Amino acid sequence: MGEPLVEVLAAPAGLDVQVDNVVIVDPEDEVEAYAGDLVLLIGARGAAARHLVRTAARQGAAAVAVKAGTSGSRSAAEEGALLRAAAGEAGVALLGVRPDVRWDQLQSLCRSVVDDARLRVDADLGESPGDLFSLAQTIAALTGGLVSIEDASSRVLAYSSGDEVDELRRLSVLGRQGPPQYLALLREWGVFTRLRSGDEVVHIDEHPELGIRRRLAVGIRAGDQPLGAIWVQQGSGPFAEGAEEALLGAARMTALHLLRHRTEVTAGLRLREDLLAALLEGRIEAAALADTVEVSADRPALVAAFTLAPGQRGWSEERNRSGLELQRRRMIDLISVHTAAYRKSALVTAVGTRVYVLLPDMPAPRAGRGRRAGGEHPDAAEASVLALARKTVEAARTLIGAAVQGAVGSLVESPDRIADSRREADRVLDAMGRDLALDVATIGDVRSRVLVSETLAHLRRTPGLRDPRVERLIRHDAEGGAELVHSLLAYLEAFGDVRAAAERLHIHPNTLRYRVRRAEAVSGIDLSEPDQRLFAHLQLLMEHERRG
């Protein structure tokens, strides 16, 4: 927690002490066992709390927190020294709390850190930004049903929209909790036992006489700790193909949502998000993640990147901004669910307008079959991620109505080179956003086009590199309505094959020959000179893309 809330006053056993829970204790409370607890002592300050510190230590407390204070003629320094001495003798860590800190606020914040640490240890879950209602709608689109997310007490936390609601769903949503008579039936059928016992999708048959339609359900867990369940009611049509796989991925992502719902966003989650972004940008080494997420230092890894297609990112009207943000959040949810179903260790984070998926611990390439970053022949592992990206982009188009582009970086030999994979994915996305009409690609698919696109982008940013002779030709066309630029570009792209270029332009070859000679005369370019021809081609390509 640190400043400005608490400071360590004593740590007889060092700082590496496990804390299992956080409790508030009043001096009037009966003495209880506090094994492994951080005990927040209220109602007693300064040296007056010494006997309570000793008592908590005897009952097994991991640490004790006390507010600073003075009594009698002792100074604050003297009071602190007495407290530290008591904690040292008792062998318990002592935390000093600022006088103006509310105990309930401190308890909530400390519990959120403990819960987050427990979640990271017990269940290696990826990040999933967004809110529960947005996630419920995404799960509904992926499964083809009507979704409700409930906590471990069967309280409804969020649900998707939709018609064809059966009686169980209607009563659950209206009452914000499963009706007792239906919950009793589900317990009798063994549904709750199966949801708590493992990572399986449970099928509940239709019971028309009870007003219950067919359902799929999956438990939400953090390690062995049940957090709730996701229920999917069948609507007017069958469940979507792959609904069970999507539901398993959704359960992993919803576990983190439920923890956030209970404790708000914790410092630990923000730290992991910051560390992952720093790793992707090459600012830290993979070892910095060791205490936050489990990433093997000697296993291959790669990065996939996704973004909304340019037509949607460019919305600027005020009325569309909220719609764009909603699409972005739903895109993040969808990507998180798909990647969690594909690989449990997948990590997802949003940086700016892009969503990055880090896939650590990938299978090593088979001997003779692998490639270095930037190679042209993807390994089987990369091919499977490419298939996942295509599936995700297609799902975004059909389920949430968003045009999404994806790029898959090359497999790198260890997480320490993950920034190389991320940069490669970014290069492909950059080119796709400028002039590549593709949904999903790797650098091997579009290397030459990416290089040309990056060269043209550099030309756009550097006016000093422009050839004034080409600029003269462009102005001539703009002022006189001629077609010299378009014709010369077609001629160069056809490698000087007049007949092929004329056919493409739907004009006679002699007409094209005349236009090419005219372009040389107007501009002063000598097309027989290779350097002039090459640079004219690049600058004409830039002008062609500018015209759209």
Among 62-71, 193-202, 352-361, 508-517, the minimum mean pLDDT is found in 62-71
* Buried/exposed code over 471-504 (b: 16+ C-beta within 10 A; e: otherwise): eebbebbeeeebbbbbbbbbbbbbeeebeebbee
Question: Would you place residue 27 in the very low, low, confident or very high pLDDT band (cuts 50, 70, 90)?
Answer: confident
CB 19 within 8 A of CB 36: yes
Nearest-angstrom CA–CA distance, 131 and 264: 11
Predicted local distance difference test score (pLDDT) of residue 292: 60
CB 83 within 8 A of CB 66: yes
Tokens of 293: 């997420």
Among 166-175, 186-195, 363-372, the minimum mean pLDDT is found in 363-372
- Predicted confidence (pLDDT) per residue in 493-504, tens digit: 888 889 998 998
Helix or strand holding residue 308 (H, E): strand 302-308
Predicted local distance difference test score (pLDDT) of residue 316: 41
Tokens of 513: 């020959």
What mean pLDDT comes out for the span 82-92? 90
Among 58-67, 341-350, 506-515, the minimum mean pLDDT is found in 341-350
Residue 321 has pLDDT above 70, yes or no: no
Among 434, 284, 294, 280, residue whose Cα is nearest residue 355: 280
Tokens of 500: 């092929």
CB 16 within 8 A of CB 62: no
In the chain, the amino acid numbered 323 is G
- CA 416 from chain center: how many Å? 20
Eight-class DSSP state of 446:
H
Predicted local distance difference test score (pLDDT) of residue 510: 92
Residue 213 has pLDDT above 90, yes or no: yes
Predicted local distance difference test score (pLDDT) of residue 373: 44
Cβ contacts of 174 within 8 Å, gap of 6 or more = none
CB 301 within 8 A of CB 415: yes
Tokens of 342: 């594909």
Among 379, 398, 375, residue whose Cα is nearest residue 387: 379
Predicted local distance difference test score (pLDDT) of residue 2: 53
Predicted local distance difference test score (pLDDT) of residue 106: 77
Nearest-angstrom CA–CA distance, 444 and 195: 44
Among 7, 8, 3, 42, residue whose Cα is nearest residue 22: 42
Q: Which of left, alpha, beta for 144 (phi over 0: left; psi -120 to 50: alpha)?
A: left
pTM of the model: 0.52
Question: Would you place residue 131 in the very low, low, confident or very high pLDDT band (cuts 50, 70, 90)?
Answer: low
How open is the CA angle 20-24-29, to the nearest 5 degrees?
120
**Backbone torsions φ then ψ of 397, nearest 5 degrees:** -70, -45
Residue 127 has pLDDT above 70, yes or no: no
Strand, coil or helix: 101: coil
The DSSP annotation for 41-91 comes to: E-S--GGGGHHHHHHHHHTT-SEEEEE----TT--HHHHHHHHHHHHHHHT
Predicted local distance difference test score (pLDDT) of residue 1: 59
- Predicted confidence (pLDDT) per residue in 30-47, tens digit: 667 788 899 998 877 777
Question: Would you place residue 174 in the very low, low, confident or very high pLDDT band (cuts 50, 70, 90)?
Answer: low
CB 527 within 8 A of CB 438: no
Residue 256 has pLDDT above 80, yes or no: no
CB 525 within 8 A of CB 471: no
pLDDT > 70 in the chain, percent = 81
What mean pLDDT comes out for the span 281-299? 70
The DSSP annotation for 127-189 comes to: P--S-HHHHHHHHHHHHTEEEEEEETT-BEEEE---S---HHHHHHHHHTB--HHHHHHHHHT
Radius of gyration of the chain (CA): 32
How open is the CA angle 114-116-120, to the nearest 5 degrees?
115
CATH numbers and ranges of domains, the chain: 6-101 (3.40.1390), 132-263 (3.30.450.40), 267-457 (3.30.70.1230), 466-547 (1.10.10.2840)
What is the edge-to-edge ordering of all strands in the sheet holding 347-351? 347-351, 354-359, 302-308, 404-408, 440-442
What mean pLDDT comes out for the span 177-187? 86
Predicted local distance difference test score (pLDDT) of residue 239: 93
- Predicted confidence (pLDDT) per residue in 392-432, tens digit: 999 888 887 888 999 999 888 888 888 899 999 998 898 88
Residue 4 has pLDDT above 70, yes or no: no
Among 342, 139, 151, residue whose Cα is nearest residue 261: 151
Cross-strand bridge partners of residue 145: 234
Percentages of the chain per state (helix, strand, coil), in multiples of 5: 50, 15, 30
- Predicted confidence (pLDDT) per residue in 261-283, tens digit: 554 444 555 556 667 777 888 77
CB 308 within 8 A of CB 331: yes
What mean pLDDT comes out for the span 480-489? 84
- Predicted confidence (pLDDT) per residue in 356-401, tens digit: 999 888 887 765 544 444 444 456 778 889 999 999 999 888 887 8
Predicted local distance difference test score (pLDDT) of residue 483: 85
Helix or strand holding residue 347 (H, E): strand 347-351
Helix axes of 468-480 and 509-523: crossing angle, nearest 10 degrees = 120
Residue showing tokens 């309280």: 155
Strand, coil or helix: 351: strand
Compute the Cα dihedral for 46, 52, 55, 57 and give only its sign: negative
